[in-house]
Structure 1
Amino acid sequence: MTALIIEDEIPAGKRLEKLLLENGFVVLTQLHSVKSALLWFKENSMPDYIFMDIELADGKCFELFEKIKIESKVIFTTAYDEYALKAFEYNAIDYLLKPIDERKLKKMLSKVDTFKEGFLADLELVKNSLSNTFKKSFLIATSKGLKKITTGEIVGFVSENNATYLITDKNFKAPVNSSLEKLEMELDGKQFFRINRKCIINKQFISEINYQNEVVINSLFDISLKISRLKIKPFKEWLGR
């Protein structure tokens, strides 16, 4: 998931970025004013989420909505609750008071995930009915040139350090130019499943689920991966198909 932070208080912006990175987001950048945000949107595509302070250095963030069409999911962050009703006029999905509480942030993200679960399942059915073509391989740059890796060789994909990596059954790890959200749409849903915010796994390498609700991977390396609480039920249904 990609996120843009619009915040004129540098310490607050850095804290929010840290929390988002810990929860699997790729933070594209931090902006500090209405003017800089308008310039950024002219040259960049919309992120998945925008975390937006209301009182910025040169005005209120609501000016952005009057000048551009914002298609991202918007979460307003502010030290004051007086703008709450007005914020929801702009289709905000949540409103977080500063200083942002990590528990409230996670609760908000869980709420979004719950909504997405049903949406993605329906979208997967539509996608499968329209086309049976999924991504079958990836071209990875190495010191010797381009290396083709098929999806059958890939144990899973992980998001870490603001990047996405594939891991093969030979314990080869390489970056890929796709977010986990995009990979969810490109990969065969019968073969791959996103078990948490930071990991997609390949069914053929799963050996068991332990009592801690961790996926045990059967490969050249011993690894157990935690399943997100919200995904345990759909994951077990998927694994049993």
Structure 2
Amino acid sequence: MKAVIIEDEYVAAENLKRQIKAVDATVDVIAVLQSVEESVEWFSENAAPDVAFIDIHLADGDAFLIFEKIEIRCPLIFTTSYDEYALKAFEVNSIDYLLKPINKKNLEKALNKLKYFSFKNNNEELVSQIVGSIRETKGTFKKHFLIPYKDKLIPLSADEIAYIRTEYKMADVFCLDGRRFLVDSSLDELSRQLDPAVFFRANRQYIVSHRAIVDLTVWFGGKLAVNLSVKTPERIIVSRARTGEFKEWMRCNG
């Protein structure tokens, strides 16, 4: 079985490749694509694989832009940190929707669907399976952290976080009450750990909490500036490519 992975994070792609091999050694990952542009080019020039694993947030926009430019004629398995796109994924031939961090059990179920599931548009059974899978997985998001601070460990609830900002390879966590902690985790790692109904990856530098958002400012070039209830070192800008997604997240999680 030939597979393609569309994922802009190298470590995440390598981890997924290892997980796939561990579940089914017959799966051959023939390409790892990192962007919308690269994916469109690859699928235009190559025969369709047996399956494509697709992360939604890519370096140059969300993965759904791929389907606006080219038809992909193979089953799709979405791998993402966000649960709000499940039905949209189903509209573009998705047979499963796996929330990160991906576990072996759910990956094995997804691969089994390739063998036994008869793929049809508007199939209510599939929608039910996808939504059920999301509900099972959603409870795994972290609600509490232990933050090393000097010679102590500080308990921190996810509810207390206003935003998170990258600081080299570490992350600065800013709280609603003004406290600030430096943690030894990347923004990608934290994005996978936090509940996507509450936290949004605004750009490559910031994750923002819904609880901290006061309002939005329409910015030049179709972008949005996010105004929080706490001070930030600079404006937090949501790119034009993600403004629609961000507005939908605001509406759905208000």
**Which residue type is aligned with residue 73 of structure 1?**
V
Match of 1:109 among 56, 59, 63: 59
Q: Unaligned stretches of 5+ in structure 1?
A: 5-25, 27-44, 50-68, 76-83, 94-107
* Structure 2 match to 1:140: 147
Q: Give the partner amino acid of 2:135.
A: S
Alignment match, 1:172: 180
- In structure 1, the residue matched to 2:24 is none
Aligned partner of residue 196 in structure 1, secondary structure: coil
Superposed structure 1 runs of 4+ greater than 6 Å apart: none
Q: Deviations over 1:156-207 (max 9, x none)?
A: 2223423333222214031243542x43332222211112222211001000
Output aligned runs, 1:1-241, within 5 Å.
Answer: 2-3=9-10, 46=14, 73-74=32-33, 109-110=59-60, 113-114=63-64, 119=78, 120=80, 121-122=85-86, 123=97, 128-133=134-139, 134-169=141-176, 170-180=178-188, 182-212=189-219, 213-219=224-230, 224-241=235-252
Supply the distance in 1 between the matched residues of 2:247 and 2:233 (Cα, whole angstroms).
21
* Larger Rg belongs to: 1
Paired residue type of 2:191: E
Amino acid at match of 2:168: N
Q: 1:226 to 1:130 in 2, by over 3 A?
A: same
Verify the 8 A CA contact 2:226 2:238 in the aligned structure 1.
yes
Deviations 1:118-152 (A, max 9, x none): 94422455654114422101111111311111111
Q: Give CA-to-partner distance per residue, 1:29-88, whole Å, 9 cap, x none.
A: xxxxxxxxxxxxxxxx92689xxxxxxxxxxxxxxxxxxx6688256xxxxxxxx99x96
User: TM-score scaled by structure 1?
Assistant: 0.51
Given that 1:165 and 1:175 are in contact with CA atoms closer than 8 Å, whether structure 2 keeps it comes out as: yes
Let me know the Cα RMSD of the aligned residues.
4.0
Instruction: Summarize the Cα distance change of 1:111–1:154 in structure 2 as closer, same or farther, 3 Å threshold.
Output: closer
Contact 1:217 1:224 in 2 (8 A): no
The unaligned stretches of length 5 or more in structure 2 are 1-7, 18-27, 35-41, 53-57, 68-76, 87-96, 100-130
Contact 1:137 1:149 in 2 (8 A): yes
Normalized against structure 2, the TM-score is what? 0.49
Matched AA of 1:218: S
Note the alpha carbon deviations across 1:64-119, whole angstroms, 9 max, x for none: xxxxx6688256xxxxxxxx99x968x8x9xxxxxxxxxxxxxx831565469994
Go from structure 1 to structure 2 and tell me whether the alpha carbon gap of 1:144 and 1:216 turns closer, same or farther (over 3 Å shift): same
Length, aligned pairs only: 159
Percent of matched pairs sharing the same residue: 18
- Distance in 1 between the 2:181 and 2:29 partners? 36
